[in-house]
Structure 1
């Protein structure tokens, strides 16, 4: 008795495809099979991305099973891992407006400066510097610049080290706090899309 024809399918995490792309099995999943038609199985069409799909399209394992068994009724499909994955549609990038970038930069610069100044006012940082200067030198000085200037430079250097970036240059391979926050944000968005925009969720 011949061994049954099997295919083991493992969905990829997330892939990016252009609008209007033809989504094939090989684009969204890795598979292993003992079928002589392995190449044809990989080339099976699942979907064609349309404008109505938005910028994210959810592929469900059931969709792959239905497509493969429609073409190959004798095929036993086994799922390994996740049951859903996301296709991110790569929309054309808009031209960056230098005026908008300059406006956002100014707003962030002023906002961060005010935040730092308000924090220093709340903790009475000028008085702290004056007190430190008096303890070290034994003299009172309303403007201890020898402490305030290095402190100000240290605040800037600390922010650069904290975010692990100066313009496009990174100091090491570790992700910065901003990159981690962006990763967590994208992960939460993907989980929301899978929960609310998957084929099964839309039917409820």
Structure 2
């Protein structure tokens, strides 16, 4: 008996051969993992059906029973081989600089729009009953709170926890695979 559980996705370089062990977890026979599967060599996203894996294993191991567990489809990403990209650090730094400046301008314009110093003075007066001598008494904790909120949102202090950003990226990845996936035949 050979048990096969397909993985959600697998990434292969353009010249690599797809084996059962790449696309699935196999239990019952070590040789079953080395069985080759057909996959187009052109870059793109392809869907590998569990039945296709079972058929390929049945050809090599006709006497064995094949039991499929879990997902029905594995998405195979054929990745184009890339050479050394010397400009990548420069492009990354430029993108980070643009994002940093954009977010700083967005926060600044938001604070100017809502008259943040006056809003913070009003909050201080509502809590204490007296107008503040210096708005920085509220501005500094507010800035620290915004920074901590960003850190918690991106799970910087908790690297092993799933963040809302990772959840959205996973959903996006799954939607893209469903839309772009071409069946392997």
Q: Please state which band the TM-score falls in when normalised by the shorter chain.
A: 0.7 to 0.9
For 1:151, the equivalent position in structure 2 comes to 142
Matched length: 182
Rounded Cα–Cα distance in structure 2 between residues aligned with 1:137 and 1:86: 61
Task: Calculate the TM-score normalised by the size of structure 1.
Answer: 0.68
The 3-state SS of whatever aligns with 2:38 is: strand
Indicate yes or no: 2:171 matched with 1:184. Answer: yes
For residues 109-160 of structure 1, give each alpha carbon's deviation from its aligned partner in whole angstroms, at most 9, with x where no partner exists: 222122222332343322122334556474576x623332332333223322
- Which has the higher Rg, Structure 1 or Structure 2? 1
> What pairs with 1:77-96 in structure 2 (closer than 5 Å)?
77-89=66-78, 91-92=81-82, 95=85
Q: CA distance change for structure 1 residues 87 and 137 in 2, over 3 Å: closer, same or farther?
A: same
> What pairs with 1:86-165 in structure 2 (closer than 5 Å)?
86-89=75-78, 91-92=81-82, 95=85, 97-133=88-124, 136=128, 138=130, 144-165=135-156
Rounded Cα–Cα distance in structure 2 between residues aligned with 1:181 and 1:94: 30
Which consecutive residues of structure 2, in runs of 5 or more, have no partner in the other structure?
Answer: none
C-alpha contact 2:120 2:139 (8 A) present in aligned 1: yes
C-alpha contact 2:124 2:130 (8 A) present in aligned 1: yes
C-alpha contact 2:20 2:36 (8 A) present in aligned 1: yes
Q: CA distance change for structure 1 residues 139 and 190 in 2, over 3 Å: closer, same or farther?
A: closer
4+ runs deviating over 6 angstroms? none
Task: Calculate the TM-score normalised by the size of structure 2.
Answer: 0.74
Indicate yes or no: 2:15 matched with 1:26. Answer: no
Rounded Cα–Cα distance in structure 2 between residues aligned with 1:29 and 1:140: 64
Q: CA distance change for structure 1 residues 197 and 144 in 2, over 3 Å: closer, same or farther?
A: same
Q: Report the alpha carbon displacement of residue 23 of structure 1 after superposing the two structures with TM.
A: 1.7
Where relative contact order (Cα < 8 A, 6+ residues apart) is larger, the structure is: 2
For 1:3, the equivalent position in structure 2 comes to none
For 1:11, the equivalent position in structure 2 comes to 6
The 3-state SS of whatever aligns with 1:115 is: helix
